[in-house]
Amino acid sequence: MLFSSLKILVFCLLILLLGCGKKSPLPHELSFYYWKSKWALSPKETQTLQQLKVKKLYVKFFDIKWDLASGKILPVAQLQADSTCRTEHREIVPCVFIENQVFQHLDTTEIPGFAHVVAHKLNQKSAQFPKAGIGEVQIDCDWSQSTRASYFSFLQCLKTLWGKEISSTIRLHQIKYRRVTGVPPVTKGILMCYNLGALQDVKENNSIFNLPLLKDYTQRIDEYPLKLDIALPIYEWTVVFRNQRFVYVLNAPQTMLDTLQLQQGEGNRFTSLTSTRIGERTLLKGDLLRRESVADEELAETVTWFDEKLKNYTIVFYHLKEQNLVSHEGVFRVIPTF
């Protein structure tokens, strides 16, 4: 009995000593991207927002793309409202995704007019949320060195027209090579910690996330001259290859894949043993499937990494979808919130 009690005491002391060497996790405000074209929150999504005390949602209002056929810049994938939009009380951050190609085709003299059109459409769409606070607007564009001047000029014009906070998405390469890519003239940035690999490369292991690569590109993130928040991935998908060539991305849950006849390959790779239809997609016998996701442990380690380099940052999860919430309930429990 004495020996047993002594073992318990030693175990408790060991845990205490190990715990003393670790910093307590920092509390963070949590948020989500809403990246669907129709506004409709499920009971699970609503419950999660309440449990995590989410005060702000980043909602994609529309995309802007260059249409090759017409040679015009067009708004697409516009958010369709429903009746619950009128009762949404959280702060809504309208997000606009703009293809880099748009700025390749815009003349310098056309930028003020383009900014006016975007601001007008933002005001129209914002009226769908009369009870939500709308201040900040976020522009999502993976600008390049050749479009840097046009994009930054657009942001300046939009800032004047909107009259409120403007934020911009930031990619990893724009952190590491900021002297080449420049720093956008906005109030703050959100670092996109996903889509880090070559999606269409059959040799890629996981195009969604790569923690060693992220750490390499953000070694000196504390020197970046903008306040930064962090966007983390909680989505998953399956990349399909045929004859070693990329075919499409299948946005289907693991439960759907479990119904298919697949042969396990190396790691996260599978080979289809039959031909079948999955929704509007055709899967042929012999197709290679690469299942991609991010483990909760990797997300937790990423937060620990940024805790050592940044202060008072918000974590924005991409994106708010019931299946994503179910798959990552563990990470929501280990990140302390305010």
Domain-located, residue 249: yes
Residue 15 has pLDDT above 70, yes or no: no
Looking at the structure, do residues 173 and 252 belong to the same domain, yes or no? no
CATH of the domain at 189: 3.20.20.80
Query: Quick one: CA torsion of 249, 252, 254, 257, rounded to 10 degrees?
Result: -80
Chain-wide mean pLDDT for the chain?
92
Higher pLDDT, 37 or 15: 37
Residue, of 25 and 138, whose pLDDT is higher:
138
| Better pLDDT: 301 or 7 | 301
pLDDT 10s digits, 133-163: 999 999 999 999 999 999 999 999 999 999 9
Tokens of 312: 């008072």
Local confidence band at 255 (pLDDT 50, 70, 90 cut-offs): confident
Average pLDDT of 89-93? 97
Domain boundary, last residue among 290, 311, 326 = 290
pLDDT for 4 beyond 80:
no
Q: How far is CA 185 from the centre of its chain?
A: 21
Cα 230 from Cα 104, distance rounded (Å): 28
Q: How confident is the model at residue 22 (pLDDT cuts 50, 70, 90)?
A: low
Global pTM reads 0.91
282 and 225 within one domain: no
Range of the domain at 241: 237-290
80 and 227: one domain? Answer: yes
pLDDT number for residue 254: 87
Task: Specify the number of domains making up the chain.
Answer: 2
Given a cut of 70, is residue 45 above it in pLDDT? yes
Query: Is residue 2 in some structural domain?
Result: no
What pLDDT is attached to residue 336? 84
Both 197 and 90 in one domain: the answer is: yes
Residues 205 and 90 in one domain: yes
Q: In terms of domains, do 206 and 315 share one?
A: yes
Q: What spatial distance separates the first Cα and last Cα of the chain, rounded to whole Å?
A: 44
pLDDT tier for residue 6 given thresholds of 50, 70 and 90: very low
Paired strand residues for 271: 263, 288
Flag whether 38 is in a domain.
yes
Q: Are residues 320 and 251 in the same domain?
A: no
Residue 7 pLDDT exceeds 70: no
> What is the rounded CA–CA span in Å between residue 175 and residue 205?
23
Tell me which of 175-179, 238-242, 332-336 is least confident: 332-336
User: Is 70 exceeded by the pLDDT of residue 23?
Assistant: no
Q: Is residue 97 part of a domain?
A: yes
Q: Is residue 19 assigned to a domain?
A: no
The answer to whether residues 32 and 115 belong to one domain is: yes
User: What's the average model confidence in pLDDT over 320-338?
Assistant: 91
Residues 207, 230, single domain; the answer is yes
Q: For the segment 194-253, what is each residue's pLDDT rounded down to a tens digit? A: 999 999 999 999 999 999 999 999 999 999 999 999 999 999 999 999 999 999 999 988
Residue at 322 is within a domain: yes
